Structures are given as structure tokens and as C-alpha cells.
A and B are shown apart, each in its own frame.
Chain A
Amino acid sequence: MSGRSGVAAATGAEAFSAELPAGRPTGWWGMVMFVATEATLFACLLGSYFYLRFQYGPQWPPPGIEEPTLLKPLVMTAILVPSSLPVIWAEHGIRRGQRWRLRCGMAATLVMGTSFLALQATEYDEKLHMFTMTTNAYGSLFYVITGFHGLHVLVGLTMISWLLAASLRGGGFGPRRHERVRNVAIYWHFVDVVWVGILFTIYLSPRL
């Protein structure tokens, strides 16, 4: 292949668009590394929980605070963890070019995630009568860890509504263009998995 015309032909916009995307794109790696560092952050917070707990003494939560009740957190889990399913369904859909699946899946997740946050708000409302962030270290851990996770749910929901809005605005996403969907999905799965760790730490471990 010599001469300028050959070069131009091989490097024009069309030259590469005929191929299906091969390999993992940069955005995927970026999101995975971001999630890795966030996961480490949660590990540090949960580690701090156990550290303070074991330094504290036999009675945990400290006197004056009841053991956390399980019903509501289990319901919250039952809502949040399955909310990954519509995301997976939507992602598979858009890879086949089914935009309606992307839209429905995102909408479903949005509803589930929002209900989770609503339940968390009622949970806070009850707990705040009993203790606050400034009552003692237990209170600080409880609110900071669950609150920080709630913030992540909120960020995830923002990302999902943003995807929904972008896809409603007239496409853009399709079989060859779903990298963002995949990235948001990774983040959302991460938020779900972390919640399981929090459920164990905050709600189950004091009963062990």
C-alpha cells in the first residue's frame, strides 16, 4: 500500500467503524479501577467499624441503644439487590439494539432504587429518636457508613436517570454504542454488593 490515497483510504473514519469493537474499552477499565478504589474505601469504613467494636468491650451496641431490628433492612435488601437484574436485562437488550429494553430496565431500577432510599429515610427517622451521629462512636459509625452508602445509591440513581434521559432524547445507544450502559451497570452492581457487606456489618454482626 503506497501513495497518499491508500493511506487516506485506510485511515478515514470508515476504516475502523466496520469492525465490531474488540477487547475491553478504556471506559470499562476506568470504571473498574474507580470501583476498586471505592470498594477499598468501604473496606476501610467497615474495617473501622469492627476495630472500634472490638476495642469497645462486650456490649455492642453500647448501653442505651437497642440491637438493630432486622425486618426493614431485609426488605431494603430484597429491593436493592434484585434491582441489578433489570440493569443486566437492559444491557443485554441494548446490545441487540432493543432500545425499549434499555428504557424499561432503567426505569425499573430507578423505581427500586428510589424505594430503597425512601425506606432508608424512614429507618433514619426511627433511629434518630434513639440515637444520633453524635451520641457515641456507634452512632457515628451507623450514620456515616449507611449515609455514605445512601449517597452512592443516589449517585447511581443519578447516573441511571441520566442514561434514561439520554436514551429517551432520541437514541444514541445501540448495538455498537453501549459502553456507557455497561459502565453505569458496573457501578450499580457495585453499590448493591457493598450493601450486602453493610447489611452484614451493621445489622447482622451485632447479633452474632
Chain B
Amino acid sequence: MSTTSTPSAGVGREDLERLAAHWEERPSLRAWLSTVDHKKIGRRYLVTAGFFFVLAGLSALVMRTQLGRPESGLVAPQEYNQLFSMHGTAMVFLFATPMLFGFGNFLVPLMIGSRDMAFPRLNAFGYWVFLFAGLFMWASLPFGAAPNNGWFGYVPLSDEQNNPGLHMDVYALGLLFLGISTTSGAINFIVTALKLRAPGMSLNRVPLFVWAIVATAFMVVFALPALNADNAMLFLDRRFGTHFFDPSHGGNVLLWQHLFWIFGHPDVYIIVMPALGIVSAVLPAFTRRGVVGYVLVVLAIVSISIISFGVWVHHMFATGLPQLSFSFFSAASTIITIPSGVQIFAWLATMLLGRLVLRVPLLFVIGFIVTFVLGGFTGAMFAVTAFDQQTTDTYFVVAHFHYVLIGGAVFPMLAGVYYWLPKITGRMYHEGLARWAFWLFFTGMHVTFFPMHLYGLFGMPRRVYTYPNIAGWAGWNLVSTIGSYLLALGVLLTIVGVVHTLRRGRPAPPDPWGGDTLEWSTASPPEPYNFPVLPRVHSLHPTWDARTAESTGPGASADRVLSGGRRTLLTSELDARQERAVAMPESTLKPLALAGALLLGFTALLLAWYPVAVVAALAVAATLAVWLWPPRLPEQEEVGP
């Protein structure tokens, strides 16, 4: 089932040495700052996004402590506004998407049998921009200048008259800055999955996780511009006196909402889809069979990514738009539950037909199914316009979307963390610690958020910093707060578990679970060049397939060793026929320099130091020019950007 980490006879010692010489980096500060290795970048994404998750979680704990009893005065209203706004913004933009990008970065090249992403330097750049944009936004909190108008920043509350100060400038600029990272990452995933798949990995052999990442990347490409346009207009309105959202001069406040939700609804799927991909990746290893209905699941993924663009108005049922449009969008919102259901049934069937191995990743998958399905039910309730009118902006909504987001994203992510920890770190985690973490997290989650349905139905509005001592509200709020501490303990134990793995974990074999995708055919952790021989794929489950092992083993054909330089293979988009070998870039400091110049520019814009912003823009242009200047090469070959 699994192959060994020691490369096979198809590769000579000399080849291995050459591969190592080309790909390995001696540890040094410079190497650390300049690396373009997708595995290191993926790890950084995971750690940084995890760090922002902890910060956002701490904000939530402060909120829950404040709301634990009625009329409490722990935080002032202005502070509370910033807390929930930063919490929501950071969870959605700085944690959920980047965390999944982290998994994608680490795994996509390994799963498709390539040596790196299509644009490794762009990848490094995306990470630095993400880090800087995240710090840019969080840095505003200690100054009391953090966004304070919710994660969706509605005008007119966020315009200059109603919201003076830097708060919403941080929001608009921070999200624009971050958008650069998300867009470049998405394009990179698409091109990588289209062109760098191992020979033989035709579209019907692409792992479901990769499908999910690619569909997500397409959604990012077509959804994020709406958010960017929105934020650019908001910033211009606030700072330079334009009137896009100003009704007294011909603007319109609903324009913000339309653009925001044209982005925001697909964004729900941008967050959930790759997480569902993780579920599809984890299940085969613990049920000992492939996911049932591969083609149906792929169709579901593709159709969700399309339909999700047609339903944004369901976030605006309370805005007084024409009734007819409500019917259309209600219908679309209901239809999208079908492909989601298809996936759920495919997983249930897989579990029923397979032999279950109840390890921690599978526990988290089960936790995910339970929680996500509950969240899906309340979601379907909102598709009923009349119900939505009653519950919008109560805690019922808060309960719903945490069921969807924690159920649909955090549980699968934790499943993924435990599943790939041996591959990423080369060490096994502590099973007992992990089980405790799961049960605390699972219980904490439901104890926190289930009562929110109740006091939401009892009429408690969301985004209030305190509330009067009303029967029904006070008791259940206390329960929620206790739950949130349990949940936090679960997260803490996970962190402890990861640290324990790094320090004490016993060495992991290449394939501890018997997984079916190509990453398990590499060493744990993988060599810098991933694969000594680039594999040839013959089925949907390459590591379960003897012929794949042969194609990287003794009889392997030599043209896929590619040890002369940093090289990998390009294949054709649909059927992955081998096309040609390409050189991959060496490590470089340019991505960091470019991201740094951008950080300077955005900071200067925020603080209205416009001359500095101009200097930064010139620095960006200069770095780009140097970056893209064609190297003097022999005439034959073009190096990827």
C-alpha cells in the first residue's frame, strides 16, 4: 500500500545528490526570508492564520465574558464594536481563507505530483502580503482605531460623517491590501492544477481536495473584485469626497450591500468548499475506500461554485427590495442545498460502506457532519423570507453562521491538521491529547452556540454590548459563556498537542494512515524536491495503485527525474499529457521587498502621508521591473514568472 521514503533504484545516487543540491537551502536568515518552497510557505500560512485565529478567538472570549451576565461593564460600547468587528473580519478574512490556502499550498503540489506551485515567487509574495495585511489590521486595535462597524461594513454607518476616525479606513485599505494576496494565491492554484499535474492525472483522476481548491480559486477570481471595488469606493468616499454611497449627491447606500454580497455569498462557499475538500481527502484513509460517487461530488463542487453567485440577495431580504426578486433568490438559495446534500450523502455512504477507523481526524469529520447539518437546517429556514424578516439581526443568526462556519470550516480544518501533521512535521501526534481536544472543542461549540438559537428567538439582538436582566436571556447567555471557555480549552489543547508533536512526537512513517493520494508516497516531511522521480498516475487512488509505485520505482522512466536544475514537468490541461520540463525559480528576496513596499504604501495612505505613498508606488514599480526583467538565457527556454 505505501511506498518507502528511500528512493528506488530508478534514481541514481548521483541524481539524488544533484536534486538535493538544487533544491535544499542551508538554514540562514536570508534563506528563511527568501524561500519560495511551497511547503515552507504553506506551513507559514497555517501558523500565521492560526495565530490570527487565536487573536480573533481572544476577542470573542472578551465579548462572551462581557455578555456572561446582564448589565456588565467590562468593556465600553465603543470597544465592544471594535471587538466584534475585528473578530468577524479576522475570522473570515485573516483566518478561514488563509488557513485553507495554507493547506492548499502545502498539499496541492504534493497531491498532483509536482515539485512546486506554478509561480513559486508569486506564492512567497502572497504570503508576505497576507502577513503584512493581517498585522496592518490588528495593529489598529491597541490604538482604538480598529474597524467598528461589523465585518460587512455597511454604509451609511461606515461613511465619514457617521464614522469619523481611522476605523473604516483600516477596514477598506486592509481588505484591499489583503485582496492582492488572495487573488494572486487563487490564480496560482488554478494554473498549478491546470498545468503541473503528474503525467496521467487526467481530470477524472484529480483528488477531490484539489478540485475543491480550484473551484474555490475560481470563485475568488470572480467574486473578490466586487469587494475590492466596494472598498475602493468606500475609501474614496471617506477620504476624497466622492459620492458613491451618498444619497444627498446621487449616490446610493444599497450599492454597498449589493457589491458586498455579490462577493460575500460566494465567500461563504470560498470558506466552506476547501474545508469540504479536506473531508473528502480524510475519509478514504479512515474508511478504507474511495469517496462514493466521485463524479457526482465533482459535479456538486462545480455547480456550487456557479450557483453561489446567484443568491446574494438573500442577505438583503430586510431591505425593501421588490418582492419578485425575493422569490427568485429564495429559489436559488434553496436549490444550492441540493449539491451540498449530494456531498453529505456521498460521505455518509462512504462511511456506511467502508470500514471505519475511529482516529481523531475521523472524529472531527463526524463532528463536522453533525454541526454542519444543523447549521444547514437553520440556513434553509432563512431561505423562507418571512422567517428571515423575523430573525435577521438577532442571535439566531449568530448561532446559524457559527454552526456553518465552525461546523463547515473549523472542524474540517482540525481534521486536516491532525491528518497531515505527520506529513508536515514528520512526527506523530499524541492520540490522548488529541481526543481530549476534540471532545472539549465539540462540547464547547454546542454549549456555546446552541443556546444562541434560543435567546435569538426570544428576541435578543446581535451586536449589543450588554442587555437588561430579562428572564431567558441572562441564564442562557451564561451557559454560552461557559461553553466558550470549554471551546477555548479545546483550542489550547490542540496547540499544546502540536507543540508536543514537534518536540516529542515519535517519527512518522511516510504513510501512517494508508492514504490514497500522492503526498503519502513522499517522505515525512517531504524532501525539498518532493519527488525523486516525478510520478506517473494511473488511477484515482495513486498510492493504492501498484502501477503508480512502479512508475516511481525501479523501472521508472528516466525522463521524470529531472535533476539538472530546479525543474518540474508541464502537462496538458485536460488529459495531463507530458509536455515539457520547465525551470523553477531560485529563492529570492524580491517578493518580500515588493510586499514591504506595498505595506509602506498602504500605511502611508492610511495616515494620509501622500508623498510617501507616491514613493512607495515608485518602489513597487521598480521592484516589479527588476523582478520581471528577462534573465539572459540561452534562447530556447522561457522561465516562468
Contacts and interface: CB of A to CB of B under 8 A. Distances in A.
B204 interface: no
B621 interface: yes
A138 B632 CA distance: 50
A82 to B, nearest CB: 27
Contact of B236 (A24, A51, A144): A144
B181 to A, nearest CB: 13
Contacts of B636: 17, 176-177
Given A15-B581, A40-B221, A44-B226, A177 B638 contact: yes
Contact of A23 (B186, B243, B255, B572): B572
Contact of B252 (A16, A51, A158): A51
A134 B561 CA distance: 62
Interface stretch (A31-39, A109-117, A122-130): A31-39
B12 A133 contact: no
A26 B11 contact: no
Contacts of A62: 250
Nearest to A158: B621
B15 A133 contact: no
Given A51-B258, A177-B638, A137 B580 contact: no
Contacts of A38: 225
Given A25-B640, A26-B195, A27-B641, A137 B244 contact: yes
B431 interface: no
B584 to A, nearest CB: 10
Given A11-B562, A17-B636, A134 B241 contact: yes
A136 interface: yes
Contacts, number: 187
Interface in B598-641: 621, 625, 628-630, 632-638, 640-641
Given A16-B580, A140-B251, A162 B187 contact: no
B242 interface: yes
Contacts of B191: 26, 29-30, 33
Given A27-B641, A144-B242, A137 B259 contact: no
A56 interface: yes
7 contacts: A4-B15, A11-B564, A26-B191, A29-B190, A135-B249, A171-B635, A172-B632
A55 interface: yes
A166 B244 contact: no
Nearest to B632: A172
Nearest to A174: B635
B328 interface: no
Nearest to A13: B564
Contacts of A22: 572, 579-580
3 closest residue pairs by CB, A with B:
A137-B250, A140-B242, A41-B225
B372 interface: no
Which of B226, B565, B630 is the most central at the interface, judged by chain A CB atoms within 10 Å of its CB? B630
A26 B251 contact: no
Contacts of A141: 244
A41 B119 contact: no
Contacts of B243: 134, 136-137, 139-140
B580 A48 contact: no
Contact of A12 (B187, B564, B579): B564
Interface in A151-188: 158, 162, 166, 171-174, 176-177, 179-180
Contacts of B625: 162
Interface string B162-191: 000000000000000000000100111011
Contacts of B190: 29, 33
A58 interface: no
B629 to A, nearest CB: 7
B74 interface: no
B387 interface: no
B266 to A, nearest CB: 12
A178 to B, nearest CB: 8
Contact of B187 (A21, A25, A37, A140): A37
Nearest to A51: B255
A10 interface: yes
Contacts of B229: 41, 44-45, 48
A40 B226 contact: yes
Interface in B434-469: none
A27 to B, nearest CB: 6
A71 interface: no
A86 to B, nearest CB: 21
Given A22-B580, A27-B638, A180 B570 contact: no
Contacts of A56: 250
A12 to B, nearest CB: 5
Contacts of A172: 630, 632-633, 635
Contacts of A10: 558-559, 561
Contact of B221 (A19, A37, A176): A37
Contacts of B259: 44, 48
A40 B243 CA distance: 22
A40 B242 contact: no
Contacts of A44: 225-226, 229-230, 259, 262
Contacts of B621: 158
A158 B119 CA distance: 22
B563 A17 contact: no
A80 to B, nearest CB: 22
Contacts of B640: 25-27
Contacts of B233: 48, 144
A21 B252 CA distance: 51
A37 B184 CA distance: 10
Contacts of B195: 23-26, 29
B194 interface: yes
A144 to B, nearest CB: 7
A188 to B, nearest CB: 16
B228 interface: yes
Contacts of A173: 630
A70 interface: no
Contacts of A144: 233, 236, 242
Contacts of A43: 225
A96 to B, nearest CB: 14
A33 B224 CA distance: 13
Interface string B258-299: 110010000000000000000000000000000000000000
A4 B14 contact: yes
A56 B119 CA distance: 45
Contacts of B240: 133-134
A176 B635 contact: yes
B393 interface: no
Contacts of B237: 140
A162 B638 contact: no
Which of A27, A43, A137 is the most central at the interface, judged by chain B CB atoms within 10 Å of its CB? A137
A25 B14 contact: no
Contacts of B225: 37-38, 40-41, 43-44
A163 B483 CA distance: 61
Which of B122, B251, B636 is the most central at the interface, judged by chain A CB atoms within 10 Å of its CB? B636
Interface in B460-518: none
Contacts of A208: none
B246 interface: yes
A200 B570 CA distance: 41
